[in-house]
Amino acid sequence: MAPAGRVAAASTGTIEGQLVGKNGASKLGGTPVVLEVASSNSTGAPDEHNATAGDDGKFRFDNVPLDQGDVYVVKATYDGGNYFTEVTFDNGATTAQASITVYPATRDAGAVSFARFNTIVSGVDQNGMQVVETGAYHNGTDHAYIGQGGDNDATTLRFALPDGAGGVNLVQGINRDTAVQTTDGFASLDAVPPGDTQFAYTYGLVPSGKTFSFNRVFPYRTDAYQLFVPKGVTVSATGGTLQDGGIQQLPNGQQYHLYTASNIAPNTRLTLQFGNLPTPGGEINPLLPALAVFVLVLGIGLIVAYGRQRKTATAPAAPGASRPVRTVPSGAAVARPARVATPRDDLPTEELEARRRRLLLELVDLDERHEAGDLAEPEYQRERAARKAELVGVLRELEAGVRQPT
């Protein structure tokens, strides 16, 4: 039986869509629209199908191949900006809909900032570090930021990673289908719409010697930066200004040593030295039980469909990684997931690991939103209890799998 969201048997179908102009975006007729179809069984470039939007913004793709596991990404290029959306077919359906909102464009990088940026060290010892980064990026104009380049593949929003980071896993706010590796991290090919967008991703670091160097650049103005490290680990900084916020206890009862900075100028470099690292095997666990903070990811993990035709160089594995795992599907939401799934005992380990990482970040995001006053207490308690219950089930399944004889 084919999984929900994919057609059961090979056939052809239709994708009908429409461009919607906002904030003065007009003259949609003639806008090029491309459908890219990538097979999960192929490592080559996706198949491309071309169309043009009519004056009313409508477009259509006929004779779309429908095969289980295929990924369908529609790209519209308007006013120099690229807009992407992933399309899915309901189980057994042969017609799917796609709606893409487009805006007038700006190339001014000053339009983009990080309203908040959090680095959470979820585990660290002399063998490696696991890091969760969350926050929100902000476009303060009524235009879409389309990057400073001039070609169709110009990158827009950039995320710089610390030197030596690997095992990147995108979870929220950054489309995996349209993210590409850069020399200092990764970037999106999507036009950045007006307003705020929450993001979350994880990665791993490997130390050199008995200390950790954490060297990173902030590509855009950052209004508020927070660094959470396990108690007992010392931090010294050069470049930028970090304020010691002391020991902080989050609503989940876990304690961190908090460091903060504000109004960080674009392209500021911050270099940190982490000391007093625990010995390997020691337990420093500021988030959840030990299994919950283990980040098992391998490779850059950024490209699903669109990026297959671009550079896909593999980054170093995260500490402790032993095999590749799937990233969270691009439709998965951290802030407000549509539903909480019931754990199943027939899921492969890599899917359980992906669910564990997703739940971990959902809990972090819930705590952050509650602290900021964006989430009422009853909703916070209800959603947090649901995720904790699911996480316990996932951890039990993972632990049972580890204990099974080989």
Structure token pair of residue 181:
């590796």
Write out residues in the chain with pLDDT < 50, as ranges: 1-9, 282-347, 402-406
Q: Cα(2)–Cα(278) distance, rounded to whole angstroms? A: 47
Please say whether the beta carbons of 101 and 20 come within 8 A: yes
Amino acid identity of residue 254, one-letter, is Q
pLDDT of residue 187: 92
Give the single-character DSSP code of 39: -
Please say whether the beta carbons of 29 and 53 come within 8 A: yes
Please say whether the beta carbons of 356 and 394 come within 8 A: yes
Q: Cα(394)–Cα(405) distance, rounded to whole angstroms? A: 19
Buried b or exposed e, range 365-383, using 16+ CB within 10 angstroms: bbbbbbeeeebeeeebeeb
| Residues 6 or more apart in contact with residue 192 via CB below 8 angstroms | 112, 137, 139, 144, 145, 146, 156, 157
- Which residue reads 């602290």 in tokens? 371
